[in-house]
Amino acid sequence: MKTKTVKRNSVPAGSKPDKLWQLRLYVAGQTPKSLTAFANLKKICENHLKGRYRIEVIDLLEQPQLSKGDQIVAIPTLVRKLPVPVRKIIGDLSDTERVLVGLDLRQAA
Amino acid sequence: MKTNGHKPASMAVQLPKCPTGIQGLDEITGGGLPRGRPTLVCGGAGCGKTLFAAEFLVRGATQFDEPGVFMSFEETGAELKANVASLGFDLAGLMRRKKILLEHVHIERSEIHETGEYDLEGLFVRLNLAIDSIGAKRVVLDTLEALFAGLPNEAILRAELRRLFRWLKDKGVTAVITAERGREQLTRHGLEEYVSDCVILLDHRVNDQIATRHLRVVKYRGALHGTNEFPFLIGDKGLSVLPITSLSLNHEVSNARIATGIPRLDAMLGGKGFFRGSSILLTGTPGTGKTIISANFAQAAARRGERVLFFSFEESPHQIIRNMHSIGLRLEPLVKSGLLRFHSARPSLYGLEMHLATMFKEISAFQPRVVIIDPITSLMDSGTDSETKGMVTRLIDYLKAGQITSLFTSLTQGGHTLQQSEAAMSSLMDSWILLQDFEGNGERNRVLYVLKARGMAHSNQIREFLISNRGVDLVDAYIGASGVLTGSARAAQNSLEKAAVLAGQQEAAQLKREVERKRTALERQISGLRADYETEAVELRRIAEQVGTQTRLLSTERTELGRLRQADVSVAAGAHRKFKPKIGKL
């Protein structure tokens, strides 16, 4: 059912379904919010993008200079670097439906 | 807490202040913004919030060696650089030298999807990195309210803003946070709720079609501050607040005197003219010769080798030069030699603040010793009374600080000798010369008074002010029983007096002749009488002689007779003698 969802939704989004998804999660330290966000992201990717995604976690406390490039204000922020266009999703990604919409994995209802 | 502001300064410890370097603002706030605390600068669109913030940083970096971070939520770095370059700020250079760091935070609502809990730690991280990388002491957030547009969850945002201000305080940076003016509150999103230390309100409003900017310190916790609304300018040297009430009067004065270009006027001013660096007001109704006196003053100064700046708000430079040529004043060579410079602008060209800014710019560029403003009243139409007075005060203060002699002409309405605004302005002036029209006998004549000349003995006399094609001159007006006479009446009176003198002389001569005549007549009479007397005397003498002769003859005859009757005489004598005893014997 989950795979079905991916197939059904990724194709009409216009992006090539076999292309690698590059996701970047910005966090600031190991806060509960960051951990939740990462866990949620992992789950969503496994469910919808199995084998086609790569997650990069950037801890701004360690590399603050990286905050500039993606115009990070809120933490946590998930940035979809690929496929273009770039999309940003803020929050701990607990609202799966909204994440899917934000990632363009599902049309907004 | 608020009462702190009203306590006298005897409270030993004052809040540490962070000087802004913005002209005038530090005077109002008693030293600057609260150091290490956030200050909210709010105002409507286009009132100069961003420039205020930018100048705060640039001055900090250049004058106080306090590097600063400019975090912009609206303008990109390139836009901001271009914008503040118009104020003469070299932002790019300061950035190269790591004095200022520009951080553009871009939030695009359409790119952002909210999914659950979040905070603004990213912003904190960026700000922290920026501050630490250049050791910033000052921070500008312009304008934080863009966050409200970009991030939908207001509850989180508010909590995070509260944390941000707390964090800024802990970080020890002096922050300026700009915000849009709200409808019913100071800021649209109620930021004043979080910034409780200092709130400055900027305002840009239109009066009589002319816009003026105002600044007001709404709140300054723990410090005395000017609560008035102050006009401020955005010139090409940055902001300039005009604190009229806090101007100090401590400029140096000069004892040197400078000639007015009209010898008789110098004579009226204690023989030496005006004090250098003083302010002179020249009031008069239309056509009384204000510009002419100004031009004379300008010429005299330029001939002494001093630079003169002539602000004209009514005539173009060429018109003034042509008109002055008609009375024998050659200004053109002085302009060519660079000693005399004209600056003409229509008063309605821009607002008062801009005029003042332009004048400051011209003055500082040309460095004149004498400045002429003809007429100041034109400028007064561009603002309200208090504004113009503030402006003139500011201008005079600026000129006096530079020991620049200033001459202001002021146009008065016919019929009113002194207008309210002039009376108010005159208190700012050291000398006041009044030009007036005298109407009578079908003609108008110009007269001149020295109403006031601080620090010198000056004439209280009225002088007639003559303009001919050879120049100007002052002559004594006729003051007599019938009042002050000028023009042809004075001339007529003069000739009348001459005639009277002549008539008097003639009458005196006449009288003298009369006396002479009388004396001659008298003498004639006397000589007549004498002649009569002589005649009479001769006659009398003749008679007397006759009588004497007769008497002599008579006595001679008697003697003869007696001699003839000698006996008888003796007899008679004896008989006479004897007769008595005889009688006695009887």
In angstroms, rounded to a whole number, what is the distance separating the alpha carbons of residues B578 and B303?
136
Exposure class string for B112-151: b at 16+ Cβ within 10 A, else e: bbbbbbbbbbbbbbbbbbbbeebebbbbbbbbbbbbbebb
Q: From its phi and psi, is residue A102 left (phi > 0), alpha (psi between -120 and 50) or beta? A: alpha
Mean pLDDT of chain B: 81
CB atoms A74 and B119 under 8 Å = yes
- Check pLDDT > 80 for residue B51: yes
Mean pLDDT of B376-393: 73
Residues of B in contact with A65 (CB under 8 A): 129
Q: Counting one residue from A and one from B, how many pairs have CB atoms under 8 Å apart?
A: 98
pLDDT digits (tens, 9 = 90+) for B243-287: 554 455 666 778 888 888 888 888 888 888 888 888 898 888 888
> pTM value?
0.62
* Strand duo A87-90 + B112-114: pairing: parallel
The minimal CB distance from A60 to the residues B106, B113, B125 is found for: B125
R_g (Cα) of chain B, nearest Å: 50
pLDDT digits (tens, 9 = 90+) for A79-109: 888 887 888 888 888 888 888 888 877 755 4
- Check pLDDT > 70 for residue B238: yes
The minimal CB distance from B122 to the residues A28, A65, A86 is found for: A28
CB atoms B123 and A74 under 8 Å = yes
Residues of A in contact with B119 (CB under 8 A): 33, 74-75
The residue among A30, A67, A98, A104 with the most chain B CBs within 10 A of its CB, best to mutate, is: A67
Q: How far is A37 from chain B (nearest CA, A)?
A: 9
Q: Which helix (H) or strand (E) holds B436?
A: strand B431-440
Which residues of B are annotated as catalytic? 74, 314
Q: Answer whether B344's CB lies under 8 Å from B316's CB.
A: yes
CB atoms B106 and A72 under 8 Å = no
Q: Answer whether B85's CB lies under 8 Å from B91's CB.
A: yes
Residues of A in contact with B113 (CB under 8 A): 87-90, 98-99, 101-102
SS3 B211: strand
For residue B567, the model assigns a pLDDT of 55
Which 36-55 residues of chain A touch chain B by CB within 8 A? 36-37, 40
Give the closest residue to B89 by CA, choosing from B46, B132, B60, B126: B60
The minimal CB distance from B114 to the residues A60, A65, A90 is found for: A90
For residue B2, the model assigns a pLDDT of 42
The minimal CB distance from A92 to the residues B105, B118, B128 is found for: B118
Q: Hey, what domains does chain A have and what are their CATH numbers?
A: 2-102 (3.40.30.10)
pLDDT digits (tens, 9 = 90+) for B317-332: 999 899 888 888 888 8
In angstroms, rounded to a whole number, what is the distance separating the alpha carbons of residues B440 and B423?
27
Q: Is A60 on the interface with B (CB under 8 A)?
A: yes
